Structure 1
Amino acid sequence: MELEDLKKNWSVMEERLGRLEMENRKLLHRAVDSKVKQMRQRLLLRLTFIVFLLPMLLWQITRQNEFEFSPLTWGLVSLFLVTILIRQCTWAYLLNRIDCNRMAVREVCLAEARFRQSFKMGIAVSVLLAIPMLASMIGDMIRFGNPYIVYGAWTGLAIGLILGLRLFFRAWGGVKELREAIEELG
């Protein structure tokens, strides 16, 4: 009698354990999906800024007839904006490829690794393109002859650098959180 009770209790415990493991796996999948969704929303917000607000800012700059930027500056600005747009679209595409419900854990890990690598490369290329663009802009502003424009440019550069670093570390934190959530799957 005791042996049969033990077997019965054992099978009940195995069944409970199986259900708990399935619930745990579902919670981990939801956590990864939540991180991916959060990163997609941030990307969409940045993409909206690039597509809608930046052209309005550039249009406002071109309306000032007394201050004309050189063709080199406009070329570097255009190259920078196109690179940022490509970077954001690539990140959105790679984030869409991370799907726990359709992929094995190994595939999810590989997709996350591709996204992380693209993130690092995208940031590095953006910084490398921003340096000559900003140098050309400040050079043109010096040529305008108004010292207050140059002071404003340096102040804007300092504030932009601080905000850019804050955004970078926040985004990098999101990438790290996504990686940790995916590592818990395995």
Structure 2
Amino acid sequence: MLSIATMTVQRQEICRRRPGIAFFIFVTGLLALVGIDSAVQAATTERVVVNHYSGLAIEGFDPVAYFTDAAAVQGLPDFEAAQAGAVWRFRNEGNRASFVAHPEIYGPQFGGYDPVALGRGVTYAGNPRFWAVAGQRLYLFGREENRDAFVADPGRFLKDATARWPELEQTLAQ
């Protein structure tokens, strides 16, 4: 019984000597919660394909580069913008500014979901490495075969995907 009381007294003395530690832990926890809140918001959106661990849209690839460079180019952390509940990365400030001014043009259509899969009634996340620009819009595909089929006849796939997208979009979390 004496040793338990002694332990309690020792712990109380330690806490009295370091009152700033409890405050520091509280403030750190509060800041972490605020940071987690915005990360969770980005990670839980499903109307735009987002990496649930990083919060990055289209795996951090620059959506404007598909148009300007005709290539999948990795964006940089120095050039980011938040849009549609996701963090978008760009290779330079000009691309970031273009996207912020016109996200409806540069962002992938159907939120980055594969239009071939959408035409079948399935939401399947597109891979930024399998892409095509058709009708001045960016499309991402889950598989290379889907991209190749789409490129051969975009009109057919867009008709089906466009018809099914409103219903499928409603099933996705905001």
- TM-score normalised per structure 2: 0.28
| Higher RCO, 1 vs 2 (CA within 8 Å, ≥6 residues apart) | 1
- TM-score normalised per structure 1: 0.27
Larger Rg, first or second structure (1 or 2):
1
Specify which structure has the higher proportion of strand: 2
